[in-house]
Structure 1
Amino acid sequence: MDSKKKGIIFMWIAVILWGISFVGTKIVVEYIPPLTAGFFRFLLAAIALMLFFRKDIKYTKKEFFILSLTAFFGITAYFLFENSALQYTTATNSSLIISTTPMIYLIINDIIKKSFSHKIRYLGTFIALIGVSILVLNGKFILKLNPLGDTLMIGAVASWVLYTLFLEKLEHLNSNIVTRDINILGSIFFIPLVFLELKTSNTCPIFSLWLQPKIIIALIYLGVLSSALAYILWNQAIRLSGSRTVTNGIYFIPVVTVIADSIILKNYPNIYAIIGIILVLGGTVIAELKQKASY
């Protein structure tokens, strides 16, 4: 198996883990404040990665600075923007805005590298974006714009784009160790946010409820599988298959969520969901017809 195919397999596993993670997140945030839940999630991920990967990298000052930026944007800032945005805007708006990430990344990456992708890749990425839009809107074009919430979600998109760009600068280092250190730093950056969240909360958290079996199981899934393992696979996928290809995997997250919803909760997709899934699959295939080209 060549490295590109291996990378795509890694991408698919990460996407599946992230797609299912929405169920675990929904369970956890019913009892634990969002940012605090994010801290515990990545703390568990950091602990799991430290148990499996014990070697260290002697980072140069420049490398450690880039590593810190990668951790901040890919973990702390992304989840800060996303969780905050969901308090003001709708899930539909959030999903649509996040779905623009592959397109925005493609444009920004091409501008930075001054090596523009073939128009076929842009066409395929745009078709996949339309597919996600149909999937999310579910035939009901009802968008309630919220300037604050939508702007915060755009911040999440920008954070993930920056995370990917900074991560590429660390490709010469051991990916597993880098992923471990990203989770450690991301957890540390969460700490002041957790204190602020718990201090400003209108209600005192009922800590005994945090120890319920379903909360513990959900946190373990989010930390060990959806964060530790998924980030390792995603970062490896970027190295093996390229960031342009792997970033398009974001389109498949809502697809996985729809499939998981129909299997677990018996909420079967309607015609709009089926059309959306077909367009996502077709658009992604089209985008891969031309890997690299310049005008």
Structure 2
Amino acid sequence: MNNRVSIGYVLAVVATIIWAGNFIVARALNQDVLPIGLAFWRWTIAVATLAPFTVRAAVADWKLIKKSLPYLTVSALLGVTTFNTLIYVAGHTTLAVNMALIASCSPVFIVLMSRLFYGETISLTRAAGIAIAVSGVVLLIAGGSLERLLSISFAIGDLYMLLASIIFAGYTMLVKRKPPNLRMTTFTLCTFSLGLLFLSPFYALECWIYHPVAFNPSIALALLYVGVLSSVVAFLAWNQAIALIGPNRTALIYYLIPVFSGIAAWLFLGEAISLVHIFSTLAIVCGIIITNRTKSSLVGIRNIPKN
């Protein structure tokens, strides 16, 4: 059990590190690629990358796939078609700081949904841990300035981002409900393929009204990152982490995304790391540790089926 939990944490951290880079890539493509086009080519690359390694297993699981088609359809609509597209739409209509602030709500929604649908308790210790982690995120975004925090203005894109955060929480809940005999690779291939299928008519409409994606070397490399790493590697890691340690524990690791984004900006963009970054990181990590040390975090893990 301890080994499974450790692996689950490592996989969740791997997913958040990759997704932190995904936010940087998405911001860089805002002026060059329209939201649905970015989502369409991301999942096209993801399916093309994943299919050669998973088609045989999917064929073997065909009867279970047909039986689970309604569940797979809803999972694909939430986790693939809608969630990521809303992030890209939000990136065109709001500031990155707003996106990061609202994205920090996802773990809170996951904990609340776990309480609502699975009856998992929210102890005072867990609530305190969440509050400390959220305060770390807010401190990081505000740069230690209350004036900067109060001066943040909100736009229609913030509503898109809020909806995306709720949808991501719902998707995380659904992953926990994965049929025990359905392999994780089969689940991932099916949701990616269905999600891409649902996106196709919207991309065709976007091309007709505006224009298709104009490829160049930098856009191609960025799409490979979001298609292979942010989609295939990160989603497989995240989904398996949920299977190993449950949605609540996995969700709290999501708070590390702004921390990893800051480190990536320091490494690749030359942005300085200040004392605010250090204190906010410590607050986020302490909040995660406090929350995951509660007994309630073990609910739903004891009876997890082995894949």
TM-score (norm 1): 0.91
Moved more, 68-77 or 192-201: 192-201
Whether 2:162 is the aligned partner of 1:154: answer: yes
CA–CA distance in structure 1, aligned partners of residues 296 and 220 of structure 2: 45
C-alpha offsets along residues 148-193 of structure 1, whole Å, 9 cap, x if unaligned? 3222222101210111112211151211111111111111111122
**Which residue of structure 2 lines up, in the alignment, with residue 165 of structure 1?**
173
**1:275/1:232 CA distance change after superposition, 3 Å:** same
Moved more, 190-199 or 27-36: 27-36
Corresponding residue to 1:233 among 215, 237, 244: 237
Structure 2 SS opposite 1:182: helix
Moved more, 115-124 or 25-34: 25-34
CA–CA distance in structure 1, aligned partners of residues 4 and 255 of structure 2: 22
Structure 2 SS opposite 1:292: helix
1:13–1:230 Cα contact (<8 Å) kept: yes
Structure 2 SS opposite 1:144: coil
Whether 2:28 is the aligned partner of 1:20: answer: no
**1:151/1:28 CA distance change after superposition, 3 Å:** closer
Counterpart residue type for residue 169 of structure 2: V
Structure 1 SS opposite 2:121: coil
1:35–1:79 Cα contact (<8 Å) kept: no
Q: Write out aligned runs for 1:1-295 (5 A).
A: 2-54=3-55, 55-56=57-58, 57=61, 58-59=63-64, 63-138=68-143, 139=145, 140-141=148-149, 142-146=151-155, 148-172=156-180, 173-201=182-210, 204=211, 207=214, 210=215, 212-292=216-296
Structure 2 SS opposite 1:242: helix
RMSD: 1.9
Counterpart residue type for residue 76 of structure 1: T
Once the two structures are TM-superposed, the CA of residue 206 in structure 1 deviates from its matched residue by 6.9
**1:282/1:206 CA distance change after superposition, 3 Å:** closer
Moved more, 33-42 or 22-31: 22-31
Structure 1 SS opposite 2:139: helix
Counterpart residue type for residue 163 of structure 1: Y
Once the two structures are TM-superposed, the CA of residue 282 in structure 1 deviates from its matched residue by 0.8
C-alpha offsets along residues 237-280 of structure 1, whole Å, 9 cap, x if unaligned? 10111110001121111110100111112211222222211111
Q: For structure 1, which runs of at least 5 residues remain unmatched after alignment? A: none
Counterpart residue type for residue 23 of structure 2: F
2:37–2:213 Cα contact (<8 Å) kept: no
CA–CA distance in structure 1, aligned partners of residues 95 and 51 of structure 2: 37
1:117–1:291 Cα contact (<8 Å) kept: no
Structure 2 SS opposite 1:59: helix
CA–CA distance in structure 2, aligned partners of residues 47 and 94 of structure 1: 29
CA–CA distance in structure 1, aligned partners of residues 91 and 28 of structure 2: 16
CA–CA distance in structure 2, aligned partners of residues 194 and 166 of structure 1: 26
TM-score (norm 2): 0.88
1:27–1:215 Cα contact (<8 Å) kept: no
CA–CA distance in structure 1, aligned partners of residues 229 and 244 of structure 2: 21
Q: For structure 2, which runs of at least 5 residues remain unmatched after alignment? A: 300-307
Once the two structures are TM-superposed, the CA of residue 34 in structure 1 deviates from its matched residue by 1.8
CA–CA distance in structure 1, aligned partners of residues 101 and 40 of structure 2: 25
2:176–2:246 Cα contact (<8 Å) kept: no
Counterpart residue type for residue 281 of structure 2: I
- Figure out how many residues of one structure are paired with residues of the other and give that number: 288
Identity of aligned residues (%): 26
1:39–1:194 Cα contact (<8 Å) kept: yes
C-alpha offsets along residues 207-262 of structure 1, whole Å, 9 cap, x if unaligned? 3xx1x222222211111111101100110010111110001121111110100111
